[in-house]
């Protein structure tokens, strides 16, 4: 490689449309250089590439460049040196011990502490992503499979019930119960096998698609969809089991009867006047409504399960939609309420505190507030967390310590303020003492009291009074960077000035951070929500369609009779659809309760050290979920209802069931 | 009883009904003219497949003829308008079928109320049930009633709206003779007391003796009309 040739990270190259042969300016250690792009590359270390102090990967504003070792050494005046080393250990090595000795070895040269692969940002991010997927893969298919099993069971039972007369006939011919059972089992096996094959193909295709999506999102060079047989076997076995159980129960009911009776139409279900029927309220009902209610009361389990299926669809919707609210609330808390700076300037090396003045006088800078950051390891008993400490000046207002409920908090002098997550990981309470090893400069070790604990949605930060932190670190009164407030009209001028200012590692604009946050979240969330809306629609359409179809097949005679009596098509539609309608109304509050539970479960399952999404459920979310569910039910009902128009009155009445 | 002078309740002219099944055509009605006079009780007799049910269904607005007209109280029914037919059934026609077609989830009283709720000038359900002799079975569900009782509930349901026409397709077909007589009694009583024009299909020639007029069907046509000189009471019949 020639000295000015670089390979750029692929996302960065794509964001800037950089092709081999293109060139751009960069400031290397305060000196502007023109660099030539010779290629784009991906690195597992930067699957999740975040700028120092950033929250999310921002492909446009943060990228990785690889250049020739000698050229880099020359640019930074650091011949024959290195600033990062990666090791692979023998299988039986004691990683903790290696880290301890490595730190001892490297600290004289400014080593800031080794860490395990598990703590590497990209790795750790992906691991937690995989953990979330695992959580999700446990709960969602379970819901879906349960509803599907219920539907299959219901449909198969009804299918066999219509064969009752044939079963009676077979018995009359002398077939035994087992023979008949086996005959129908074969039928169900054929239907079930076709269904399972179709489901497997569609499932495999969806799995493939999902994997593809992931590969693109994380830019994995490849990610293979290699489903084990377990998923197919479990799903197939449960579906087939439900189908067989439903149909064989119906067969059993039929073969238990003497053949003569089985060949007769089933004796009509026995209805009884319940207590409720005698109340005053019951008198106010019209007969069609009474028919709807009596049917529900007659088969309460079936009605409840159907309602539960619909409720699940509402619940899944609520869970998916609340995610939007939660993300909004998270962003609002982090970007609007906790931070008031317009930009953060991070220095490449520590600067004396006096450097503030230089920035205060730049065009458009309204206010500047310094901070100090020190990499550190915090120990409590046998627990260790690698977590840098942020030093905040007294009376900080631009970027103070912020508790999601209590708001801005003052940092008490002489001790640490830990986030709840960090306190949990270290098992400390306010008042405990922790051992802190700073990993920079003279690397002092001190015992510090934990003075306060606060809640935050992002990361697991630790704060300290800046002056106190500087005293412990012993580097004098220095700062790592500045938070600044900028006059909106001078932003471009300021940015140009900052680009030419030495010692600056990064400039992070808050509004850019918000944009990236929403862009990244937007992409993932839209896929996520889209998937769940589809999932929920499938549930509600499945339950609605099957319930109505079964009701129609069971009640065709009743409905035809009503038509003969002069009821209009709309009036009998009311009787047919009223049941599902009523079940939907029951399902909505039920779904709201389950949805709350599901959302709660998901937020706690999604809790990582990186971020915690708050459980935020607006009333409107319940409303939207209810409306979407209702719309699905209505659309589906409207389609099935059309069959009523083709109801053949005479054919139905001529036969005895 | 002299009925000839009374007005025509229903008049059908040149009714033809052809069922097409693929290439096969079944001529169920081959040009039928019928007049039903106000308050008259007509019995339709004829071999199976001769077109009796087809005629009754068309007269009651349940089915459409291939051609021909039906005039109800001087107004021709628009046989192609489902809404008109529905309103016609709702306001003017009561049906009784061989199978009772009661709603199993509703009690006797509620089955009748189903109709009285949508009718213009109905009688109370209990009164309709009393007319068919079921005043003491009001709160029974169909499954708790005998076949004859169920059929009488069906009759009560058909007449509770005080229809102009009562159309019965083999109402006693599924009943033994003793029960059948009870059912016929109920129909006759309604015909007399409410003056409801009634048409009744039966396979039982004996039953024809309760009618004012008997129409004999064969092969899609009315082949003979007989006027009974005197109606006999169902209780006098035996089969
Ligand atoms: N839906 C239909 N499709 C085809 N043909 C039909 C249909 N309904 C009736 N038919 C035919 O029309 C003719 C008349 O039938 P209809 O039911 O009116 O007879 P019916 O006199 O009532 O007989 P039964 O005394 O057996 O009830 C028969 O030949 C029958 O096969
Ligand atoms: Mg017939």
Please tell me if the CB atom of residue B172 comes closer than 6 angstroms to any atom of ligand 1. Answer: no
Residue B58's closest chain A neighbor by CA? A650
Please tell me if the CB atom of residue B49 comes closer than 6 angstroms to any atom of ligand 1. Answer: yes
User: In terms of domains, do A283 and A224 share one?
Assistant: yes
Tell me what the mean pLDDT of segment A313-335 comes to.
87
Select from B197, B202, B193 the least CA-distant residue to B212: B197
Report whether pLDDT(A277) > 70.
no
Residue A107 placed within a domain: no
CA distances from A645 to A335, A571, A642, B21, B86 (A): 58, 12, 5, 21, 13
Report whether pLDDT(A28) > 90.
no
Name the band, by pLDDT with cuts 50, 70 and 90, for residue B56: very high
Residue B48 placed within a domain: yes
Distance A263 CA to ligand 2 centre (A): 22
Local structure of residue A362 (DSSP, 8 states): S
User: In terms of domains, do A322 and A390 share one?
Assistant: no
Average pLDDT, rounded, for chain B: 88
- For B61, phi and psi rounded to 5 degrees? 75, 20
- For A481, phi and psi rounded to 5 degrees? 180, -175
> Could you list the residue range(s) of the whole structural domain that residue B122 is in?
8-236
Please name every residue paired with B45 in a beta bridge, in sequence order, or none if there are none: B216
User: Rounded to two decimals, what is the model's pTM?
Assistant: 0.78
| Number of the ligand closest to the Cα of B168 | 2
Indicate the number of domains in chain A: 3
Q: What confidence score (pLDDT) does residue B14 get?
A: 93
Q: What confidence score (pLDDT) does residue B223 get?
A: 92
Tell me what the mean pLDDT of segment A593-609 comes to.
86
Share of chain B above pLDDT 70, in %: 97
User: In terms of domains, do A508 and A602 share one?
Assistant: no
Can you tell me the distance from the alpha carbon of A192 to that of A148, in angstroms, rounded to the nearest whole number?
A: 12
Region class of B21: left (phi > 0), else alpha (psi between -120 and 50), else beta = beta
| Protein residue whose Cα sits closest to atom 20 of ligand 1 | B49
Residue A105 placed within a domain: no
Distance B53 CA to ligand 2 centre (A): 4
| Protein residue whose Cα sits closest to atom 22 of ligand 1 | B53
Residue A315 placed within a domain: yes
Measure in Å the smallest separation between the Cα of B234 and chain A Cα atoms: 26
Can you tell me the distance from the alpha carbon of A193 to that of A187, in angstroms, rounded to the nearest whole number?
A: 10
Please name every residue paired with B72 in a beta bridge, in sequence order, or none if there are none: B10, B75
Q: What confidence score (pLDDT) does residue B12 get?
A: 93
Q: What confidence score (pLDDT) does residue B3 get?
A: 44
Region class of A416: left (phi > 0), else alpha (psi between -120 and 50), else beta = beta
Tell me what the mean pLDDT of segment A23-27 comes to.
86
Tell me what the mean pLDDT of segment A537-547 comes to.
86
Residue A132 placed within a domain: yes
Over residues A236-250, the pLDDT tens digits come to 888 888 888 888 887
| Number of the ligand closest to the Cα of B27 | 1
For the CA atoms of chain B, what is the radius of gyration? 17
Indicate the number of domains in chain B: 1
* CATH number of the domain bearing residue B203: 3.40.50.300
Mutational pocket test of ligand 1: of B53, B60, B220, the residue with most ligand atoms within 8 Å of the beta carbon: B53
The kind and range of the H/E element at A625 are helix A619-645
Bigger pLDDT: A553 vs A365: A365
- Grouping H, G, I as helix, E, B as strand and the rest as coil, residue B67 is strand
User: In terms of domains, do A486 and A344 share one?
Assistant: yes
Bigger pLDDT: A257 vs A595: A595
Can you tell me the distance from the alpha carbon of A218 to that of A533, in angstroms, rounded to the nearest whole number?
A: 23
Share of chain A above pLDDT 70, in %: 95
Measure in Å the smallest separation between the Cα of B231 and chain A Cα atoms: 29
Over residues A57-68, the pLDDT tens digits come to 788 878 889 998
CA A599 to chain centre: 10
User: In terms of domains, do A550 and A418 share one?
Assistant: no
Can you tell me the distance from the alpha carbon of A355 to that of B156, in angstroms, rounded to the nearest whole number?
A: 101
Residues of B in contact with A286 (CB under 8 A): 117
Q: What is the DSSP string of B99-153?
A: S----TTS-HHHHHHHHHTT-SSPPPHHHHHHHTT-TT-TT--GGGS-HHHHHHH
Can you tell me the distance from the alpha carbon of A434 to that of A385, in angstroms, rounded to the nearest whole number?
A: 11
Residue B97's closest chain A neighbor by CA? A653
Name the band, by pLDDT with cuts 50, 70 and 90, for residue B231: confident
CA angle A602, A608, A613 (to 5 degrees): 50
Tell me what the mean pLDDT of segment A399-411 comes to.
91
Question: Is residue A269 within 8 angstroms of chain B, CB to CB?
Answer: yes
Name the band, by pLDDT with cuts 50, 70 and 90, for residue A421: very high
Would you say A239 and A246 are in contact if contact means Cβ atoms under 8 Å apart? no
Select from A453, A220, A229, A482 the least CA-distant residue to A358: A482
Residues of A in contact with B110 (CB under 8 A): 287, 290
Measure in Å the smallest separation between the Cα of A558 and chain B Cα atoms: 6
Measure in Å the smallest separation between the Cα of A560 and chain B Cα atoms: 9
User: In terms of domains, do A528 and A503 share one?
Assistant: no
Residue A490 placed within a domain: yes
Can you tell me the distance from the alpha carbon of A225 to that of A222, in angstroms, rounded to the nearest whole number?
A: 10
CA distances from A165 to A184, A244, B98 (A): 14, 20, 20
Over residues B109-144, the pLDDT tens digits come to 999 999 998 888 899 999 999 888 888 988 888 888
Name the band, by pLDDT with cuts 50, 70 and 90, for residue A113: confident
User: In terms of domains, do A452 and A393 share one?
Assistant: yes
Name the band, by pLDDT with cuts 50, 70 and 90, for residue B1: very low
Question: In chain A, how long is the greatest CA-to-CA distance?
Answer: 104
Share of chain A above pLDDT 90, in %: 22
Region class of A450: left (phi > 0), else alpha (psi between -120 and 50), else beta = beta
Can you tell me the distance from the alpha carbon of A586 to that of B174, in angstroms, rounded to the nearest whole number?
A: 42
Please tell me if the CB atom of residue B22 comes closer than 6 angstroms to any atom of ligand 1. Answer: no
Report whether pLDDT(A627) > 60.
yes
Bigger pLDDT: B162 vs A149: B162
Three-state secondary structure along A129-160?
HHHHHHHHHHHHHHHHHHHHHHHHHHHHHHHH
Contact B103 A561 (CB under 8 A): yes
Would you say B36 and B165 are in contact if contact means Cβ atoms under 8 Å apart? yes
Query: How many alpha carbons fall within 13 Å on the CB side of residue A458?
Result: 18
The number of the ligand 1 atom at minimal distance from the alpha carbon of B50 is 21
Tell me what the mean pLDDT of segment A576-601 comes to.
90
Can you tell me the distance from the alpha carbon of A528 to that of A320, in angstroms, rounded to the nearest whole number?
A: 8
User: In terms of domains, do A310 and A372 share one?
Assistant: no
User: In terms of domains, do A307 and A251 share one?
Assistant: yes
Select from A185, A46, A53 the least CA-distant residue to A125: A46
Please tell me if the CB atom of residue B21 comes closer than 6 angstroms to any atom of ligand 1. Answer: yes
> Could you list the residue range(s) of the whole structural domain that residue A344 is in?
337-512
Which residues 6+ apart lie within 8 Å of A638 measured at CB? none
User: In terms of domains, do A412 and A555 share one?
Assistant: no
Report whether pLDDT(A633) > 70.
yes
CA distances from A637 to A156, A305, A314, A642 (A): 21, 18, 17, 9
Q: What confidence score (pLDDT) does residue A398 get?
A: 92
Q: Which of A84, A105, A138 is the last residue in one of the domains?
A: A84
Distance B168 CA to ligand 2 centre (A): 10
Residue A442 placed within a domain: yes
Name the band, by pLDDT with cuts 50, 70 and 90, for residue A270: low
User: In terms of domains, do A231 and A310 share one?
Assistant: yes
Residue A93 placed within a domain: no
Please tell me if the CB atom of residue B26 comes closer than 6 angstroms to any atom of ligand 1. Answer: yes
A:B CB pairs within 8 Å? 80
Residue A98 placed within a domain: no
For residue A104, the tally of other CB atoms under 10 A from its CB is 10
Would you say A11 and A57 are in contact if contact means Cβ atoms under 8 Å apart? yes
Q: Which of A512, A533, A560 is the last residue in one of the domains?
A: A512
Q: What confidence score (pLDDT) does residue A54 get?
A: 66
Which residues 6+ apart lie within 8 Å of A294 measured at CB? A271, B105, B106
Over residues B150-180, the pLDDT tens digits come to 989 999 999 899 899 999 998 888 788 888 8
Q: What confidence score (pLDDT) does residue A483 get?
A: 94
Measure in Å the smallest separation between the Cα of B227 and chain A Cα atoms: 29
Residue B208 placed within a domain: yes
Select from B47, B52, B81, B45 the least CA-distant residue to B64: B81
Contact B93 A566 (CB under 8 A): yes
Query: How many alpha carbons fall within 13 Å on the CB side of residue A465?
Result: 16
For residue A332, the tally of other CB atoms under 10 A from its CB is 12
Please tell me if the CB atom of residue B52 comes closer than 6 angstroms to any atom of ligand 1. Answer: yes
Residue B51 placed within a domain: yes
Dihedral sign, Cα of residue A558, residue A562, residue A568, residue A572? negative
- Grouping H, G, I as helix, E, B as strand and the rest as coil, residue A247 is helix
Tell me what the mean pLDDT of segment A172-176 comes to.
82
Select from A365, A384, A586 the least CA-distant residue to A494: A365
Over residues B195-229, the pLDDT tens digits come to 999 999 998 888 888 888 999 999 999 999 988 88
Report whether pLDDT(A284) > 80.
no
User: In terms of domains, do A368 and A504 share one?
Assistant: yes
Q: What confidence score (pLDDT) does residue A657 get?
A: 53
Let me know if A19 is exposed, middle or buried by CB neighbors in 10 A (0-12, 13-18, 19+): exposed
Q: Which of A56, A84, A112 is the last residue in one of the domains?
A: A84
Report whether pLDDT(A265) > 70.
no
Which residues 6+ apart lie within 8 Å of A526 measured at CB? none
Q: What confidence score (pLDDT) does residue A597 get?
A: 93
Residues of A in contact with B57 (CB under 8 A): 650
Average pLDDT, rounded, for chain A: 85
For the beta sheet containing A504-509, the strands, ordered from the edge strand earlier in sequence to the opposite edge, are: A383-386, A376-380, A433-438, A445-454, A416-419, A462-465, A389-392, A365-374, A478-486, A343-352, A504-509
Outline where DSSP puts E strands in chain B: 8-21, 24-37, 41-45, 67-72, 75-76, 93-96, 165-169, 197-201, 213-218, 221-227
């Amino acid at each position: 490689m020639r000295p000015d040739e670089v390979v750029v990270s692929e996302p960065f190259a794509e964001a800037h449309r950089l092709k081999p042969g293109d060139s751009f300016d960069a400031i290397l250690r305060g000196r502007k250089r023109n660099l030539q792009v010779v290629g784009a590359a991906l690195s597992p270390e930067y699957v999740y590439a975040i700028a120092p102090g950033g929250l999310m990967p921002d492909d446009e504003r943060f990228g990785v460049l690889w250049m020739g070792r000698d050229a880099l050494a020359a640019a930074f005046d650091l011949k024959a040196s290195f600033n990062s080393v990666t090791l692979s250990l023998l299988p039986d090595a004691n990683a903790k011990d290696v880290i301890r000795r490595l730190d001892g070895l490297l600290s004289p040269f400014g080593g800031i502490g080794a860490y395990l692969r598990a703590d590497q940002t990209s790795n750790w991010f992906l691991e937690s992503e995989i953990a979330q997927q695992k959580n999700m893969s446990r709960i969602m298919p379970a819901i879906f499979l349960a509803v599907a099993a219920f539907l299959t069971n219901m449909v198969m039972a009804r299918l066999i019930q219509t064969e009752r007369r044939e079963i009676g006939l077979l018995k009359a011919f002398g077939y035994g119960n087992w023979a008949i059972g086996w005959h129908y089992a074969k039928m169900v096996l054929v239907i079930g096998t076709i269904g399972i094959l179709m489901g497997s193909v569609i499932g495999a295709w969806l799995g493939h698609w999902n994997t593809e999506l992931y590969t693109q999102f994380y830019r994995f060079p490849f990610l293979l969809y290699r489903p084990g047989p377990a998923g197919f076997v479990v799903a197939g076995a449960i579906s087939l089991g439900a189908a067989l159980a439903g149909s064989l129960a119906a067969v059993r009911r039929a073969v238990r009867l003497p053949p003569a009776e089985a060949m007769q139409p089933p004796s009509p279900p026995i209805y009884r006047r319940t207590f409720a029927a005698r109340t005053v309220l019951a008198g106010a009902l019209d007969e069609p409504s009474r028919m709807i209610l009596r049917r529900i009361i007659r088969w309460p389990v079936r009605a409840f399960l159907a309602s539960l299926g619909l409720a699940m669809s509402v619940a899944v919707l609520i869970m998916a939609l609340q995610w939007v609210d939660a993300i909004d609330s998270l962003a609002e808390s982090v970007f609007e309420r906790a931070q008031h700076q317009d930009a953060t300037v991070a220095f490449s090396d520590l600067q004396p505190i006096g450097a503030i003045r230089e920035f205060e006088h730049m065009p458009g800078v309204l206010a500047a507030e310094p901070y100090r950051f020190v990499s550190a390891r915090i120990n409590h008993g046998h627990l260790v967390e690698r977590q840098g400490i942020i030093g905040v000046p007294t009376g900080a207002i631009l970027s103070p310590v912020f508790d999601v409920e209590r708001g801005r908090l003052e940092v008490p002098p002489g001790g640490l303020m830990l986030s709840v997550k960090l306190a949990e990981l270290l098992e400390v309470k306010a008042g405990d003492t922790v051992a802190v090893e700073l990993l920079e400069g003279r690397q002092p070790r001190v015992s510090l009291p934990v003075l306060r604990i606060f809640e935050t949605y992002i990361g697991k930060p630790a704060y300290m009074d800046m002056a106190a932190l500087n005293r412990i670190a012993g580097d004098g009164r220095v700062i790592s960077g500045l938070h600044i407030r900028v006059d909106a009209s001078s932003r471009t001028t300021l940015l140009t000035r900052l680009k030419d200012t030495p010692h600056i590692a990064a400039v992070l604009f808050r509004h850019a951070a918000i944009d990236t946050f929403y862009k990244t979240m937007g992409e993932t969330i839209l896929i996520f929500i889209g998937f769940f809306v589809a999932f929920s629609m499938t549930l509600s359409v499945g339950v609605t369609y099957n319930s109505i179809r079964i009701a129609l097949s069971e009640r065709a005679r009743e409905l035809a009779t009503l038509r003969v009596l002069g009821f209009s098509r709309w009036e009998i539609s009311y009787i047919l659809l009223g049941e599902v309608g009523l079940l939907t109304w029951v399902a909505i509050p039920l779904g709201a309760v389950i949805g709350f539970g599901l959302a709660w479960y998901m937020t706690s399952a999604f809790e990582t050290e990186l971020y915690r999404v708050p459980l935020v459920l607006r009333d409107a979310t319940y409303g939207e979920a209810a409306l979407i569910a209702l719309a699905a039910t209505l659309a589906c009902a409207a389609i099935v209802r059309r069959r009523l128009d083709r109801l053949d009155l005479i054919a139905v009445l001529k036969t005895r069931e | 009883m002299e009925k000839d002078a009374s007005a025509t309740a229903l008049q059908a002219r040149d009714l033809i009904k052809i069922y097409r099944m693929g290439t096969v055509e079944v001529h169920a009605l081959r040009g039928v003219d019928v007049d039903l006079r106000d308050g008259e009780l007509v019995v339709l007799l004829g071999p199976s497949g001769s077109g009796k049910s087809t005629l009754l269904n068309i007269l009651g607005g349940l089915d459409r003829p291939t051609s021909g007209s039906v005039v109800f109280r001087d107004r021709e029914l628009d046989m192609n308008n489902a809404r008109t037919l529905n309103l016609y059934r709702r306001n003017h026609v009561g049906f009784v079928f061989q199978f009772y077609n009661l709603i199993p989830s509703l009690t006797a009283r509620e089955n009748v109320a189903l109709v009285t709720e949508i009718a213009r000038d109905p009688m109370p359900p209990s009164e309709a049930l009393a007319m068919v002799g079921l005043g003491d079975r009001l709160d029974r569900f169909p499954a708790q009633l005998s076949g004859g009782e169920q059929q009488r509930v069906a009759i009560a349901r058909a007449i509770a709206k005080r229809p102009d026409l009562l159309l019965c397709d083999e109402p006693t077909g599924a009943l033994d003779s003793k029960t059948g007589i009870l059912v016929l009694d109920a129909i006759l009583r309604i015909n007399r007391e409410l003056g409801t024009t009634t048409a009744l299909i039966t396979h039982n020639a004996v039953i024809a003796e309760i009618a004012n007029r008997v129409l004999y069907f064969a092969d899609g046509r009315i082949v003979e009309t007989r006027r009974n000189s005197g109606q006999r009471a169902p209780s006098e019949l035996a089969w």
